């Protein structure tokens, strides 16, 4: 049994070096964007703006990093945005009712995690394709959130809690610390632990993975639960940063999160990609918006520019990948 | 009562997708079409319609797309309503152009229909009741510029590009700026009516402009998002929004927000429903009521603190004076 496991994991190691190359290309693309912006705008290459971009990228990264693990198993989680909305609204209520930010944080993480676990159960126990299961979950969550909020807005949270989103620690915004911590945890988990490697193996070849004794169901449950919990974490950052929650905050979050994962080089077919790549993907999307604001690009052109850059980024990815093979 | 109504409404949505809920017994049935369950504005419209129907001993049937602003869903709800044949319809098109064929179906079924909020590009209506986005934008921006003494550096945060409301409000902002040659427009950037996007746009603009004196946001959620960004950067600027949401009234009271243009959804719901019922009872109606813009400020916010649920609809004589043509 152990021999078999090693055999399936062997190609996994080959993927990592290929992945490293991909991450390098991504980093280059991000630097190229930075370089162009630095020439075009005086205010781009300032410490203030770099910290600003990192803080903005963190929210997207939290959602996208959990999602990366799901995509690595050749699955998809379309419910992340709706998850953020419900988790934020419930956590907001808990903080208002109890006055305790700690309980609010727990509520957000628990809500997110339970939603993720339910997604995982639909995918494993009911064998519903993840795209459909999580799409259904998106609607269920939207329905629950709309009903619960009934058009209301929850706003006004304690200053201590708000530090999580808008505070600074030794000159760095608090969300940037969280970003670095979860970037490290995600990278180590995916690349350096057996469970992480098993997730790559499941995505690369689920049949071979099962035959080699990888507990498919448990790993998939874990992956969806992590994706949900990260959405819960993102909802806390959202609450702390914006000081309010309403039912429709999730809709504009899902597609950018998926885009960040794909621009970051994770393949929708599973088995290929890195959490670090996703960080670069989130950074590129944030840089594009930041640059357009700094350069005062006309509002009409902004979606067009974003779309163009997403297409070019993925096209470059496929081109470099082909060369790699 | 209205809370219970909206709970019933939402449960019905969860259960069946398209929904209808009857609120009050006896009398005529008025079908009320709104755009979504997420924007607090449409909740105030529904509360206003319910209040007017109750006062006149009629009942309402609320039609709300489960997917916010969904054109196909509102079209299928129209098909449903043409079969069910309520006595009259109060109608907000999710899209002023795309819903014209839907309005024509209602006309073909000979159901009298009153258009409120967004003026439909075609079809026959008993009457139109709405607020004028242009003068709302103009008056609110004028108030801000007057407060700044007619000068200063100004930023505009636009709504969804291409939406009628955003185009007209931003046109009003720009015309107010033209009246004040001392004021300088630094940037006009899109926030898509989303709080998070407005926050990030403002954070980015703060990086490139050391002095921002005034912010004109096309809705309240974006205005409050911009305020969070300014506070996070220890900057001070006067900010205005539009819609007159409860959150905005709280922010005006605490001095964070300078003013909010009142779109007055409650009155629109009231007056639209009153006109629908009057036309059924063969009483005279007014073909067009465009509500005069009200700017909510620190001087006049008190009446807006009353929750819409406990406000009363105006009498017909009062309603006719609100801006009839």
Q: What pLDDT, in 10s, does the model give residues A228-245?
A: 999 999 999 999 999 999
What residues contact A3, with CB distance under 8 A and at least 6 apart? none
Count how many domains chain A has: 1
- Name which of A270, A271, A268, A249 is nearest A259 in CA terms: A268
pLDDT at B15: 39
Would B299 be classed as within a structural domain?
no
Q: What is the DSSP string of A85-106?
A: HHHHHHHHHHHHHH--HHHHHH
Question: Do B251 and B281 belong to one domain?
Answer: no
Interchain proximity B194–A146, CB inside 8 Å: no
The answer to whether residue B273 scores a pLDDT higher than 70 is yes
Q: Which two tokens stand for residue A178?
A: 């969280």
Question: Do B14 and B112 belong to one domain?
Answer: yes
Rounded to whole angstroms, how far apart are CA atoms B174 and B156?
A: 9
Q: Which B positions 285-324 lie with beta carbon below 8 A of chain A?
A: none
Which residue in chain A is spatially nearest to B11 when comparing CA positions? A147
Q: Domain containing B147: what range?
A: 133-262
Query: Which residue in the block uniquely carries the two structure tokens 């819609």?
Result: B243
Interchain proximity A242–B200, CB inside 8 Å: no
Interchain proximity A146–B38, CB inside 8 Å: yes
Q: What CATH number is attached to the domain comprising B11?
A: 3.40.50.2300
Residue A274 Cα distances to A19, A52, A254, A270, B217, angstroms: 7, 24, 19, 11, 39
pLDDT higher for B310 or A6?
Answer: B310
Which residue in chain B is spatially nearest to A288 when comparing CA positions? B204
- Where residue B209 falls among pLDDT bands split at 50, 70, 90? very high
The answer to whether residue B322 scores a pLDDT higher than 50 is yes
With 0.90 as the threshold, say if the pTM is over it.
no
- On whether any CB of chain A is under 8 Å from the CB of B226, the answer is no
Question: Do B93 and B6 belong to one domain?
Answer: yes
Interchain proximity B196–A238, CB inside 8 Å: yes
Interchain proximity A150–B68, CB inside 8 Å: no
Question: Do B153 and B225 belong to one domain?
Answer: yes
Rounded to whole angstroms, how far apart are CA atoms A228 and B180?
A: 51
Q: What pLDDT, in 10s, does the model give residues B75-104?
A: 999 999 999 999 999 999 999 899 999 999
Mutation target among A38, A50, A146, A176 for the B interface, most CBs of B within 10 A: A146
pLDDT at B169: 95
- On whether any CB of chain A is under 8 Å from the CB of B21, the answer is no
Q: What CATH number is attached to the domain comprising A154?
A: 1.10.3470
The Cα diameter of chain B in Å comes to 62
Question: Do B185 and B208 belong to one domain?
Answer: yes
pLDDT at A17: 67
Over chain A (325 residues), what is each successive 10-residue block's mean pLDDT?
Answer: 45 57 84 91 91 95 97 96 97 96 97 98 96 96 92 89 91 94 96 94 92 94 97 96 91 93 90 93 94 90 88 78 54
Find the mean pLDDT for residues B154-165.
89
Q: What pLDDT, in 10s, does the model give residues B127-143?
A: 999 988 999 999 999 99
Mutation target among B190, B198, B266 for the A interface, most CBs of A within 10 A: B190
- On whether any CB of chain A is under 8 Å from the CB of B232, the answer is yes
Interchain proximity B161–A299, CB inside 8 Å: yes
Q: State the smallest CA–CA distance between residue B299 and chain A in angstroms.
A: 23
Find the mean pLDDT for residues B9-18.
40
Would B287 be classed as within a structural domain?
yes
How many DSSP H helices and E strands does chain A contain? 13, 4
Q: Domain containing A204: what range?
A: 2-324
Question: Do B57 and B165 belong to one domain?
Answer: no
Mutation target among A293, A294, A303 for the B interface, most CBs of B within 10 A: A293
């Amino acid at each position: 049994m152990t021999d078999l496991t090693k055999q399936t994991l062997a190609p996994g190691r080959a993927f990592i070096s290929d992945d490293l190359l991909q991450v390098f290309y991504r980093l280059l693309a991000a630097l190229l964007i930075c370089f162009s912006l630095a020439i075009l705008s005086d205010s781009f290459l300032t410490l203030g703006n770099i910290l600003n971009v990192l803080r903005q990228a963190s929210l997207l990264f939290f959602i996208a990093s959990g999602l990366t693990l799901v995509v690595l198993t050749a699955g998809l989680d379309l419910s992340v945005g709706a998850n953020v909305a419900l988790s934020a609204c419930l956590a907001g209520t808990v903080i208002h009712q109890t006055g305790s930010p700690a309980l609010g944080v727990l509520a957000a993480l628990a809500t997110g995690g339970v939603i993720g676990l339910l997604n995982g159960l639909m995918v494993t126990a009911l064998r519903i394709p993840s795209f459909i299961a999580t799409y259904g979950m998106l609607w269920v969550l939207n329905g629950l959130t709309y009903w619960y909020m009934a058009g209301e807005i929850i706003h006004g949270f304690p200053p201590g809690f708000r530090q999580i989103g808008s505070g600074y620690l030794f000159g760095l915004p608090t969300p940037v610390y969280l970003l670095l911590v979860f970037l490290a945890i995600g990278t180590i988990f995916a690349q350096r632990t057996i469970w992480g490697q098993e997730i790559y193996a499941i995505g690369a070849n689920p049949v071979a993975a099962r035959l080699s004794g990888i507990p498919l169901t448990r790993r998939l449950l874990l992956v969806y639960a992590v994706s949900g919990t990260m959405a819960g974490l993102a909802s806390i950052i959202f609450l702390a940063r914006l000081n309010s929650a309403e039912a429709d905050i999730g809709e504009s979050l899902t597609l950018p999160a998926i885009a960040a994962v794909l621009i970051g080089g994770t393949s929708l077919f599973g088995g290929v990609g890195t959490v670090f790549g996703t960080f670069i993907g989130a950074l590129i999307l944030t840089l594009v918006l930041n640059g357009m604001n700094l350069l005062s690009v006309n509002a009409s052109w902004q979606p067009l520019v974003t779309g163009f850059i997403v297409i070019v980024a993925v096209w470059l990815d496929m081109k470099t990948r082909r060369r790699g093979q | 009562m209205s809370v219970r109504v909206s709970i019933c409404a939402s449960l019905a949505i969860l259960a069946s997708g398209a929904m209808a809920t009857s609120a009050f017994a006896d009398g005529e049935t008025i079908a009320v079409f709104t755009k979504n369950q997420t924007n607090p504005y449409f909740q105030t419209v529904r509360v206003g319609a319910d209040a007017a129907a109750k006062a006149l001993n009629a009942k309402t049937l609320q039609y709300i797309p489960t997917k916010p602003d969904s054109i196909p869903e509102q079209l299928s709800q129209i098909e449903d309503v043409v079969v069910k044949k309520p006595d009259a319809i109060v109608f907000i098109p999710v899209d002023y152009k795309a819903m014209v064929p839907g309005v024509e179906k209602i006309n073909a079924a000979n159901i009298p229909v009153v258009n409120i909020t967004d003026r439909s590009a075609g079809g026959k209506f008993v009457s139109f009741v709405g607020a004028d986005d242009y003068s709302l934008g103009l008056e609110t921006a004028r108030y801000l510029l007057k407060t700044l003494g007619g000068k200063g550096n100004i930023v505009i945060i636009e709504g969804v590009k291409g939406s009628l409301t955003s185009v007209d409000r931003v046109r009003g902002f720009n015309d107010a700026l033209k009246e004040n040659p001392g004021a300088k427009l630094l940037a006009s950037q899109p926030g898509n009516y989303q709080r998070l996007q407005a926050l990030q746009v403002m954070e980015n603009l703060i990086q490139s402009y050391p002095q921002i004196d005034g912010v004109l946001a096309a809705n309240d959620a974006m205005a409050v998002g911009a305020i969070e960004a300014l506070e996070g950067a220890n900057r001070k600027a006067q900010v205005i929004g539009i819609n007159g949401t409860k959150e905005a009234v709280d922010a005006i009271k605490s001095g964070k927000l300078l003013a909010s243009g009142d779109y007055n959804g409650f009155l629109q719901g009231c007056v639209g429903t009153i006109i629908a019922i009057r036309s059924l009872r063969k009483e005279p109606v007014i073909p067009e009521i465009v509500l005069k813009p009200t700017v909510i400020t620190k001087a006049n916010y008190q009446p807006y603190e009353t929750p819409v649920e406990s406000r009363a609809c105006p009498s017909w004589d009062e309603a006719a004076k609100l801006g009839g043509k």
